[in-house]
Every structure is written in C-alpha cells, then in structure tokens.
Amino acid sequence: MQSRYGTVFVTAGIVVRLDGTMRSGREIRSYDYVNRPYERVRDALMQNALTVFQAATKAAASRAQSIAAELHVDFGGFGVKTDINISVKNIEEMVVDTTSTPTTRLLLEWEAATMPKLFPLMKGELSVYPLTSTETQLDFSGTYKPPFGAVGKTMNAMIGYRIAEVSVHRFVSDVAGYLRQALA
C-alpha cells in the first residue's frame, strides 16, 4: 500500500501549544499516514508504544541486543546514527462528544542513549487520529534545544536543524511503515 507523508516544518522561538502550554526551542513537525483504521493503530500504540517505536527504528538483529531505539540520518553523504532512549510520558485519548474526531496523544521525550549532552533532548507529542474509516494520521510536533549554548546555536543554524528535521521525519515514517506492515 502506498502512504502519503507530510513535510517537516521547523520554526524557532516560543511555541504555544493548543492546550495553552508553552515550549521554547526549535519546533519540528512531521506527519505520515497509516492505511489502517484508527482503532487498530491506536490500540497498537496504547498497548505498547515503546515496542512499536523500537521495532520501527532498529533492525531485528540489533533490537535483540538493545532496548534503545535508533535514529539514523543520511545527509549529503554524511551518516549520523545514534541509539536513543525514548520515554512515553503520557498517553491520553480525547473524545469531546459523539460528533468529534477521537484523538490519541502520546507525550514523548528522547535523548541519545550514550553521551546525551552531545545531542539535543527532543520533547514532543505524537497525535493519532482518523482521516477516514481506513486511514489514520500520525502527526508529530516537538521542540528541541541544541546543546552547547551559543556554539550549539551556530552549529544548529548551519546543519543541526536539518539533521534534526530529517531524523524526526525518518522516525515518523519508520513508525508509520512499521504499523502498515504489522497491522496488515
């Protein structure tokens, strides 16, 4: 099955979320679609989101050796790969009334498994909601602060933001691809 995916958006500054909370740092947003019913996608993520993330982002042989997930980016012939520790801080399903679209939100954080001070800490929200009776959207919105203060901001302006946006897009795409296969 074919999937559609969205562009990654990156902005800087203070982000005010729909629930009124504020985050500072660079915002990244990416989305992808799973050609499966919302209920099946929601149930898979609610039952064990970490297993889904790990299975989606690591090769089977590597998964057996580590409980960390992995982010990987190829950027202009330069490969960046690091194991990450993902934590799911909260999962909530919101249904306002019988006429509204249900939405499941997973509040996530991830950081590098080794030498976390060398990589940014990502905080984000993965929203899951139905588009049709057979198609579900995964919509990630998160923020990160580059490490190393002013030097980190300069590095981020040159290439770091691009690595961050590609890695987030790859993460969302990997999760969507895994769910398409696992729920077939």
Can you give the CATH number for the domain in which 143 is found? 3.30.530
The structure tokens 């997930």 sit at 69
| Structural domain span for residue 43 | 9-182
**Under 8 Å between Cβ of 117 and 130:** no
Q: Would you say residue 3 lies in a domain?
A: no
Q: Would you say residue 128 lies in a domain?
A: yes
Please give the average per-residue pLDDT across 57-70, as a whole number: 47
Please give the average per-residue pLDDT across 73-93, as a whole number: 72
Q: Would you say residue 4 lies in a domain?
A: no
- Residues 39-58: tens digit of each pLDDT: 999 999 999 999 999 888 76
Look at the chain and report how many structural domains it folds into.
1
Q: Would you say residue 2 lies in a domain?
A: no
Q: Would you say residue 178 lies in a domain?
A: yes
pLDDT band at 103 (very low <50, low <70, confident <90, very high): very high
- Residues 111-169: tens digit of each pLDDT: 877 767 767 788 999 999 999 999 999 999 998 877 777 776 776 666 667 777 877 88
Which pLDDT does position 55 carry in this prediction? 87
Higher per-residue confidence, 42 vs 2 = 42
